[in-house]
Amino acid sequence: MANRPLSPHLGIYKWGPHMATSILHRASGDGMAFVGLAVLLWWLGALAGGPGSYETFLEHASAWYGQVVLIGLTWAFFNHASSGIRHFVLDMGAGYELNTNRTFSVVSMMMGVVLTAAFWAFIYLR
């Protein structure tokens, strides 16, 4: 048998915020693709279906479970955008220092939550 080095495995890596940011980036992108597309198509169908269809859509979107879905989609958007900006900076070759990468990862996750809270506070409080 050849004496080759083994590939790194999850047990070797230390968990860090950059790993959580990467996982959340992928999850939020998938959430927007699947859930966001379903909500968008339902909304467009309700618009095309007339006033009765749109009222049904608004009833569900205004209910607590509809608000949870819409807030979740908003978080997914802002989290994905914040993480995308982080990836853009990394693609330019900056931010690879360990402390900088860790800080930028935490900031990008926090920005998703802060921007979502600010967006929905603006909607609810106006």
Binding-site residue numbers for heme are 80
Q: How many CB atoms within 10 Å of residue 113?
A: 13
- Three-state SS letters, 59-98: HHHHCHHHHHHHHHHHHHHHHHHHHHHHHHHHHCCCCCCH
- Give the annotated binding-site residues: 80
Instruction: Determine the Cα–Cα distance for residues 37 and 76; give it in Å rounded to an integer.
Output: 13
The H-or-E segment that residue 108 falls in is helix 98-125
